[in-house]
Amino acid sequence: MKYLDEFRKKEPFQAILSKIQSLPPTAISLMEVCGTHTVSISKSGLRSLLPPGIRLISGPGCPVCVTSLEDVDRVIMLAEEGRKNKRYIIATFGDMMRVPGSHSSLLKEKAKGADIRILYSPADALTLAREHPEKEVVFFAVGFETTSPTFAATILQAQREGLNNFSIISNNKLIPPAMEVLLEDRETTIDGFLCPGHVSAIIGTAPYQRIVDRYQKGCVVSGFEPLDLILSTYWLMLQKKDATPRVEIEYSRVVHTEGNVKALALLNQVYDIADASWRGFGVIPQSGLVLKDAFSSYDGTKKFDLPTPEVATPHGCQCGQVLKGMITPRECPLFAKRCTPTDPVGACMVSSEGTCAAYYKYEQ
Partner 1 sequence: MRTMCLAVPLEVVDVKDNLATVSFGSTTREVYLDLMDTVAVGDFIIVHAGFAIEKLDKEEAAKTLALFKEVMDEIS
Positions that interact with partner 1 (CB under 8 A):
1-4, 6-7, 9, 11-12, 15-16, 18-19, 35-36, 40, 93-95, 120-124, 143, 146-147, 149-150, 153, 156-157, 197-198, 201-202, 223-225, 227, 231, 250, 252-255, 260, 262-263, 266, 352-353
Half-sphere exposure of 341 (CA within 13 A, CB side): 13
Q: Are strands 282-291 and 218-221 parallel, antiparallel or unpaired?
A: unpaired
Contact 109, 79 (CB under 8 A): yes
Q: Burial letters for 37-50: b for 16+ Cβ neighbours within 10 Å, e otherwise?
A: bbbbbbebebbeeb
- Comparison of 229 and 319: residue with beta carbon closer to partner 1: 229
**Distance from the first to the final alpha carbon of the chain:** 30
- Comparison of 22 and 364: residue with beta carbon closer to partner 1: 22
Q: Are strands 271-278 and 116-118 parallel, antiparallel or unpaired?
A: unpaired
- Comparison of 143 and 325: residue with beta carbon closer to partner 1: 143
- Comparison of 63 and 309: residue with beta carbon closer to partner 1: 63
Minimum CB–partner distance for residue 285 and partner 1 (Å): 26
- Comparison of 6 and 213: residue with beta carbon closer to partner 1: 6
Minimum CB–partner distance for residue 156 and partner 1 (Å): 8
Minimum CB–partner distance for residue 227 and partner 1 (Å): 6
- Comparison of 143 and 320: residue with beta carbon closer to partner 1: 143
Minimum CB–partner distance for residue 242 and partner 1 (Å): 18
User: Residue 203 — φ and ψ, nearest 5°?
Assistant: -90, -15
Minimum CB–partner distance for residue 339 and partner 1 (Å): 22
Residues 252 and 289: their CA atoms lie apart, in Å, by 27
- Comparison of 28 and 152: residue with beta carbon closer to partner 1: 152
Going by the DSSP 8-state scheme, the letter that residue 257 receives in this structure is T
- Report the side by side order of strands in the sheet with 88-92: 116-118, 88-92, 136-143, 166-172
Minimum CB–partner distance for residue 224 and partner 1 (Å): 4
CA-to-CA dists, residue 5 to 225, 232, 233, 329, 350, angstroms: 9, 18, 20, 30, 29
Minimum CB–partner distance for residue 321 and partner 1 (Å): 24
Residues 301 and 168: their CA atoms lie apart, in Å, by 8
Minimum CB–partner distance for residue 254 and partner 1 (Å): 5
- Comparison of 147 and 318: residue with beta carbon closer to partner 1: 147
Q: Can you say whether the dihedral through the CA atoms of 65, 67, 72, 73 is positive or negative?
A: positive
**Residues sharing a CB contact under 8 Å with residue 156, sequence separation 6 or more, in sequence order:** 266, 269, 270
Going by the DSSP 8-state scheme, the letter that residue 95 receives in this structure is G
Residues 176 and 61: their CA atoms lie apart, in Å, by 11
Q: Can you say whether the dihedral through the CA atoms of 225, 231, 237, 240 is positive or negative?
A: negative
Minimum CB–partner distance for residue 244 and partner 1 (Å): 19
Minimum CB–partner distance for residue 215 and partner 1 (Å): 27
- Comparison of 155 and 317: residue with beta carbon closer to partner 1: 155
- Comparison of 9 and 87: residue with beta carbon closer to partner 1: 9
